[in-house]
Amino acid sequence: MIQEEAVTSAEHERFKAYDRLNAVADILMVCAVIFFSYFLPGGMAAHIVVYGLVLFMAVFSVMWHAVVPDRYLGPKKLIVKNLVDAALATLIIQYTGQEQSPFVFLYYLVLLAAAVSIGVRYTFMLAALITTAYVIISGVAIQRLVLEPTGFIYIWADIVSLWLVAYLAAFLADETAKARQGVAEAREKFESFSKIDWLTGLYNMKHFDVLGVQEVARAERYGHPLSLLMIDSDYLKSVNDNYGHQKGDQLISDLAATISQNARSSDSVIRYGGDEFLVVLPETDTLAASFLAERIRAAVEERGLQIGQTKANTTVSIGLASYPKDALDPTGLLARADAALRHSKQMGRNRVSAYVEGMEQQRPLHPKQPAVAAPAV
């Protein structure tokens, strides 16, 4: 039994394309049978049966493609349609000359449609059913077919051609499916890497663009607080200048690890850029966020940066803003947290500052103003 798959948007569009292709194939089959059956020898009864089958095929196709809702699109619907098509093709072949019928090609169309839409396994199963039905309507016992192959060369030629078409169609469909899967995996990896920072393994700002909107919307809907921390290393430039950029990268990686270890599982840690990080704190007000920020600050200061056999002192400055007290949207929260971070820098670094109104109006440090000393080794 086939389990109905969860159909994604892309799969739904793919099944719709298969359904349209099947509808076109139905039209061509009906037209071909009507045209060629007119020239076939036979009695009036046989013609009536054939035209009746064609009429049924046309009506069934219209009902199937136009009436059945799109939500039923999927492997089950396609398999049922292929089985019905195979049954109708068998009846048409039976009443137009069995193995001498010019409509054996209808089987090929059914197998091609099956290979493209439902895959290799079910294509071969359908080929086996079609082969069995074809042998039965030909009126030949299996024993005679095997023991006297030359006497039934037309039937064997049709059977072999059926399986060749089934194999080639299934092979090409399988290769196409593998190619499609490879493209999907490549796209998934690209999208994953585009949201992940290569150095720290944290989310980058592309992720915050989406997450910020989601969390603010959730906080607004349920009336819960939301806080944002902006964290900046105090001495990355000094580490780069004194020990090289490799140690600077190590400092950034260590900061990312320390922040992640001290954040909660419900929090999201994001590399904002350079040595700056964001921590999104759902359902957290200013007071609770201040405690968490202080824990992160103390953990960074205690950890330091290992350089050879010694450990350099490292610290961070942290700015904090909260929804709805300080801002009502992600951009506002980011701006307020940045203002609070600048305040921490101006007040001597290695501290946590919660945003208060007017902070963004404060002037930054003068370029010639002496900075705090570089970390001791």
Determine contact, residues 202/260, Cβ cutoff 8 Å: yes
**What would the mean pLDDT of 205-212 be, rounded to a whole number?**
83
Q: Is 19 a catalytic residue?
A: no
Q: What is the CATH number of the domain that holds 215?
A: 3.30.70.270
Chain segment 265-301, per-residue pLDDT in tens:
888 899 888 888 999 999 889 899 999 999 998 888 8
The one-letter amino acid at 286: T
Position 229 scores a pLDDT of: 92
Determine contact, residues 237/320, Cβ cutoff 8 Å: no
Which range has the worst mean pLDDT, 45-59, 114-128, 325-339, 357-371?
357-371
Chain segment 293-304, per-residue pLDDT in tens:
999 988 888 887
Q: What is the mean pLDDT of the chain?
A: 81
Residues 176 and 283 occupy one common structural domain: no
Domain-located, residue 301? yes
Angle at 370 between CA 368 and CA 373, to 5 degrees: 145
**Is pLDDT above 50 for 371?**
no
- Which of 170, 192, 214 corresponds to the end of one domain? 192
Which band of pLDDT confidence, cut at 50, 70 and 90, is reported for residue 74?
A: confident
Tokens 């499916």, residue located: 177
Domain-located, residue 370? no
**Is pLDDT above 60 for 370?**
no
Residues 278 and 228 occupy one common structural domain: yes
Determine contact, residues 365/302, Cβ cutoff 8 Å: no
Domain-located, residue 157? yes
Residues 209 and 173 occupy one common structural domain: no
Residues 56 and 135 occupy one common structural domain: yes
Residues 246 and 270 occupy one common structural domain: yes
pTM: 0.49
Determine contact, residues 279/288, Cβ cutoff 8 Å: no
Residues 210 and 167 occupy one common structural domain: no
Domain-located, residue 317? yes
Residue (of 125, 51, 31, 149) closest to 95 by Cα position: 51
**DSSP 3-state of 123:** helix
Highest mean pLDDT among 141-150, 186-195, 258-267: 258-267
Position 321 scores a pLDDT of: 92
Residue (of 307, 297, 294) closest to 238 by Cα position: 307
**DSSP 3-state of 377:** coil
**Is pLDDT above 60 for 369?**
no
**Is pLDDT above 50 for 237?**
yes
Chain segment 340-365, per-residue pLDDT in tens:
999 988 888 888 989 888 777 765 54
Tokens 């292709």, residue located: 21
Residues 22 and 133 occupy one common structural domain: yes
Position 233 scores a pLDDT of: 87
Determine contact, residues 294/305, Cβ cutoff 8 Å: no
Domain-located, residue 373? no
Residues 217 and 174 occupy one common structural domain: no
Catalytic-role residue among 19, 85, 234, 275: 275
Chain segment 302-324, per-residue pLDDT in tens:
887 766 666 677 888 999 999 98
Position 3 scores a pLDDT of: 39
Domain-located, residue 3? no
Angle at 230 between CA 227 and CA 231, to 5 degrees: 135
For residues 253 and 92, what is the distance between their CA atoms, to the nearest angstrom? Answer: 71
Which band of pLDDT confidence, cut at 50, 70 and 90, is reported for residue 227?
A: very high
**Is pLDDT above 60 for 84?**
yes
Domain-located, residue 372? no
Which range has the worst mean pLDDT, 189-203, 212-226, 235-249?
189-203
Residues 92 and 128 occupy one common structural domain: yes
Determine contact, residues 227/219, Cβ cutoff 8 Å: no
Q: Residue 75: is the preceding peptide bond cis (ω within 30°)? A: no
Residues 152 and 272 occupy one common structural domain: no
Residue (of 84, 110, 94) closest to 21 by Cα position: 110
Which range has the worst mean pLDDT, 41-45, 265-269, 285-289, 328-332?
41-45
Position 373 scores a pLDDT of: 38
Residues 330 and 226 occupy one common structural domain: yes
- Percent of the chain having pLDDT more than 90? 11
Whether the CA torsion 100, 105, 107, 111 is positive or negative: it is positive
- Which of 192, 224, 252 corresponds to the end of one domain? 192
Residues 127 and 71 occupy one common structural domain: yes
Determine contact, residues 349/315, Cβ cutoff 8 Å: yes
Domain-located, residue 197? no
**What would the mean pLDDT of 255-267 be, rounded to a whole number?**
88
- Which of 192, 223, 244 corresponds to the end of one domain? 192
Instruction: Report how many domains make up the chain.
Output: 2
Domain around 36 = 9-192
| Burial 118-132, CB ≥16 within 10 A → b, else e | bbbebbbebbeebbe
**Is pLDDT above 60 for 8?**
no
